[in-house]
Amino acid sequence: MNTIDYEKLAELLFPNVTQTVDDMEKLYPPRNLPEGAIVSRLAPSPTGFVHLGNIMQGLTSERLAHQSGGVLYLRVEDTDAKREVAGASEMLIEMLSHYGIIFDEGAALDENGNICDKGAYGPYKQSQRAFIYHVYAKKLVREGKAYPCFCTEEELEQFHAEQEAEKANFGYYGKWAKWRDRPIEDIEAEIAKGNKWVLRFRSTGSIEHKFKYNDLIKGEVDITENDIDHVLLKSDGIPTYHFAHAVDDHLMRTTHVVRGDEWLASLPFHIQLFQALGHKLPKYVHIGTLMKMDGTSKRKLSKRKDPELALSYYKSEGYPTESVVEYILTILNSNFEDWRRANPTAPLDDFKFSAKKMNAAGSLFDIAKLSDVSKNIISRMSADKVYDEVAAWAKEFDAEFYAEFTRDPEYTKAALSIGRGGNKPRKDFALWSEVKGYMGFFYDKYYDVNGIYPENFDADTIRSALRKYLKVYDPKDEQTVWFDKIKDVAEELGFARETKEYKTNPDAYRGHVGDISSFIRVAVTGKQNSPDMFSVMQVLGEDKVKERIEKQIERLRG
Ligand code: GLU
């Protein structure tokens, strides 16, 4: 074929495409940003499953873009209609904003919760960008860099079988690239018959050629040229990921592509495609797969086996978003934890995120570590903040607890204030769903009347301790007096006033003051573990404390 034929072919395949590449370039001009500003994006497919990978990529792009004074945008990659789930894009946007990933532009939600475009580089849903891809497809055909292929599924399967038998590489290349150099008459004949075609890239690469490429995380990687004539447009005119990537990231003026490293294998093709289109290659940040320990070996987190892969899991379990974000940052940047230790209360924005500090191999996800991080973060929150967060979580996920928790906000906040503030705040819970177990006893509904007492004491002993205590209990006592009274009860019943005394001479006592405290604790809270008893009793108030102890005396009568 000569150049004229390519022109003709381009018209034959895309008769309705009248706009040119220049028109597109004018429509989406380079961004006017300062030197060094990064333009990055999150480009998820709306499959209805939002996962940790999305947030890892989202946070990485977000930090790189915003810390450089650049732009972060969201592009919805909905070119695979088979995988698309209704409402998935909306859910994606909501979930990402829940985790504080705010996009400057891209697909967004309007005030009615419907998807809309925000920004000058849209549409941001790939399904609405067919007219753009076709302009570039036509250009490639005109330049002899792409051609239509009419192979049927059966033929492609046949090639695959032959390649298997010949132990050849799989794919559409060499003698199997049946439509690569066909005369235009053959193509016209197929089109006249109404046969479907896909548009293929005419690769000029060779697997004999290797070169080096510098990935921002992986460093220098060895690349073997691509020799496959991959599909650019499917038979319905919708682009493959590869082609859409090379067009969209160029036109949207992306400088940094942050994506999962499952795309590393396609990089040779992408580099080729950008070159063929005359587009500047963006920088790539390929994030390693998230792994977890399974026994003694590592494996990929799996959608089927690991509920913690889904972001919805953290929301329904009630992990504070701050905790998830903080933990993800510890995974993403190796120096984050040291920074956090040195700056325990600094806002996350103060941390200088860097692609260089990212782990080239897959990172390990450890949910126990996330819980530790979360306990720390919650311990530093104010009671008001914890109240608001728990209320919002419970409203959605535990309506019964919500009713109790919010009935008297001042009471609940007083309960939440125990052990909060000061240099060593208590680290009692890591997620909002643990709050009920921790402080539910403040509400009668969750107070366990059948609380279990320390097992080495009989009911009579416990009952007399409670009776004696009830006689001396005075809510107006300050803490030392309050504790002295418990010691008095201990002494009267032949228990040591101090644990130390008991330890040096255990045979001389029936127990020690800690045991008496335990009896009171179980009576008042229904549990052997609780926040500071003095404060608990103050929040519960005189009536409730007396009522519960009396009930227990009754119960222990047997
Ligand atoms: N839709 C692709 C994915 O979800 C996007 C990859 C990319 O960021 O370029 O894997």
The per-residue DSSP string of 457-483 comes to S-HHHHHHHHHHHHHH--TT--HHHHH
Cis peptide, bond prior to residue 123, ω within 30 of zero: yes
Q: Give the CATH number of domain 459-556; options: 3.40.50.970, 3.60.15.10, 3.20.10.10, 1.10.10.350.
A: 1.10.10.350
**Distance, CA 516 to ligand 1 centroid (Å)?**
62
Q: What is the pLDDT of residue 100?
A: 86
Residue 378 has pLDDT above 90, yes or no: yes
Question: pLDDT of 292-315, one tens digit each?
Answer: 999 899 999 999 999 999 999 999
Indicate the pLDDT class of residue 4, thresholds 50, 70 and 90: low
Span 6-14+130-287 CATH architecture: 3-Layer(aba) Sandwich (3.40)
CATH 1.10.10.350 range(s) for the chain read 459-556
Selection from 4, 20, 32 nearest residue 143 by Cα: 4
Residue 297 phi, psi dihedral angles, 5° rounding? -115, 160
Neighbours of 507 (CB within 10 A): 5
Token readout for 93 is 């946007």
In this structure, the strands spanning 210-215 and 219-224 are: antiparallel
DSSP 123-182: --BGGG-HHHHHHHHHHHHHTTSEEEE---HHHHHHHHHHHHHTTPPPSS-GGG-TTTT-
What is the distance between the alpha carbons of residues 516 and 514, in angstroms, rounded to a whole number? 5
Neighbours of 362 (CB within 10 A): 17
**Distance, CA 371 to ligand 1 centroid (Å)?**
29
Q: What is the pLDDT of residue 179?
A: 97
Element housing 252 (H / E): none
Crossing angle of helices 321-332 and 367-379, in 10° steps, is: 130
Q: What is the pLDDT of residue 1?
A: 45
Token readout for 182 is 């066909």
3-state helix, strand, coil split of the chain in percent (to 5) is 50, 10, 35
Please give the average per-residue pLDDT across 337-343, as a whole number.
96
| Ligand 1 atom 10 nearest Cα | 44
Question: pLDDT of 453-495, one tens digit each?
Answer: 999 999 999 999 999 999 999 999 999 999 999 999 999 999 9
What burial class does residue 110 get, using C-beta atoms within 10 Å of its C-beta: 0-12 exposed, 13-18 middle, 19+ buried? exposed
DSSP category for residue 121? T
Selection from 390, 372, 382 nearest residue 434 by Cα: 390
**Given the CA of residue 249, which atom of ligand 1 is nearest to it?**
9
| Ligand 1 atom 7 nearest Cα | 259
What is the distance between the alpha carbons of residues 38 and 101, in angstroms, rounded to a whole number? 16
**Distance, CA 489 to ligand 1 centroid (Å)?**
68
Residue 244 has pLDDT above 80, yes or no: yes
Question: What global pTM score does this model have?
Answer: 0.89
Token match 């495609």: residue? 273
Residue 83 has pLDDT above 80, yes or no: no
Element housing 220 (H / E): strand 219-224
Check residue 73 and give left, alpha or beta (phi > 0: left; psi -120 to 50: alpha).
beta
Ligand 1 site, residue 245, Cβ cutoff 6 A: yes
Q: What is the pLDDT of residue 461?
A: 96
What's the N-to-C CA distance of the chain in angstroms?
101
Element housing 286 (H / E): strand 283-287
Best residue among 47, 55, 241 to mutate for probing ligand 1, ranked by most atoms within 8 Å of CB: 241
Q: Give the CA distances from residue 170 to residues 199, 211, 325, 355, in Å, rounded to whole numbers and listed in that order.
A: 19, 22, 41, 34
**Distance, CA 263 to ligand 1 centroid (Å)?**
8
Best residue among 96, 263, 285 to mutate for probing ligand 1, ranked by most atoms within 8 Å of CB: 263
Q: What is the pLDDT of residue 434?
A: 97
Name the residue type at position 389.
Answer: E
Residue 159 has pLDDT above 90, yes or no: yes
Does residue 425 contact residue 416 with C-beta atoms inside 8 Å? no
Q: What is the pLDDT of residue 205?
A: 95
**Distance, CA 61 to ligand 1 centroid (Å)?**
13
Q: Cα–Cα–Cα angle for 328, 241, 123, nearest 5°?
A: 85
CATH 3.40.50.620 range(s) for the chain read 6-14+130-287
Q: What is the pLDDT of residue 3?
A: 46
Neighbours of 276 (CB within 10 A): 20
Best residue among 39, 40, 45 to mutate for probing ligand 1, ranked by most atoms within 8 Å of CB: 45
Question: pLDDT of 390-448, one tens digit each?
Answer: 999 999 999 999 999 999 999 999 999 999 988 888 899 999 999 999 999 999 999 99
| Ligand 1 atom 6 nearest Cα | 259
Please give the average per-residue pLDDT across 256-276, as a whole number.
96
Residue 167 has pLDDT above 90, yes or no: yes
Residue 449 has pLDDT above 80, yes or no: yes
Selection from 313, 310, 151, 284 nearest residue 223 by Cα: 284
Does residue 463 contact residue 516 with C-beta atoms inside 8 Å? no
Does residue 236 contact residue 249 with C-beta atoms inside 8 Å? no
CATH 1.10.1160.10 range(s) for the chain read 291-379
Span 291-379 CATH architecture: Orthogonal Bundle (1.10)
Residue 210 has pLDDT above 90, yes or no: yes
**Given the CA of residue 245, which atom of ligand 1 is nearest to it?**
9
Ligand 1 site, residue 257, Cβ cutoff 6 A: yes
**Distance, CA 193 to ligand 1 centroid (Å)?**
36
Q: What percent of the chain has pLDDT over 70?
A: 99
**Distance, CA 256 to ligand 1 centroid (Å)?**
13
**Given the CA of residue 258, which atom of ligand 1 is nearest to it?**
8
